[in-house]
Structure 1
Amino acid sequence: MAHLTFDEAEQRELRDAARTEFPGNPALAYVLENLAAEGIDLDRCRDWDDIRAEMGLPEQSDEAPHVA
């Protein structure tokens, strides 16, 4: 099982960034704070194409505009 965790200094930096960089977006701040606390379980990560299929979205084509 692969699990990415952050040391205490990295956790503090993520939390500080969440609070200062995204004050108008509490959902994004929550996600960053949760990542800092919990880390990332790489075994549970899913590919964007899998998520797209699960949500019933069309496949990405080269003709479609790319959104950053």
Structure 2
Amino acid sequence: MANLTFNETEQRELRDAARAEFPGNPVLAYVLENLAAEGIDLDRCRDWDDIRVDKGLPEHADEAPNVA
């Protein structure tokens, strides 16, 4: 089981950064503060390709799209 946790100093810094960086978005600040307090269960994380499939997005192309 892999879990990313933060010590008290890191938690405080993450909370302060969340409040300072996202004052107009309290939901995002709350999520970041929660991550600081609870840590991250890396076993429950999904990779981007799985999320793309779940959301019905097209497969990831290795080549960058042609942009003018």
TM-score bin (small chain): 0.7 to 0.9
**What TM-score, normalized by structure 1, do the two folds share?**
0.86
1:22-37 equivalence runs, <5 A: 22-37=22-37
Give 1:28 deviation, angstroms: 1.5
How much does 1:64 deviate? 3.5
Total equivalences in the alignment? 65
Q: Which residue of 2 aligns with 1:42?
A: 42
Q: d(CA) in 2 for partners of 1:20 and 1:51? A: 29
Give the gaps of 5 or more residues in structure 1. Answer: none
Aligned to 1:64: 65
Aligned to 2:11: 11
Secondary structure in 1 matching 2:51? helix
Report % sequence identity. 78
Q: Distance in 1 between matches of 2:4 and 2:20?
A: 24
Higher alpha-carbon Rg = 2
RMSD (Å), alpha carbons:
1.4
User: Which residue identity lines up with residue 43 of structure 1 in the other structure?
Assistant: D
Q: Which TM-score applies when normalising by structure 2?
A: 0.86
Deviation at 1:12? Answer: 0.4
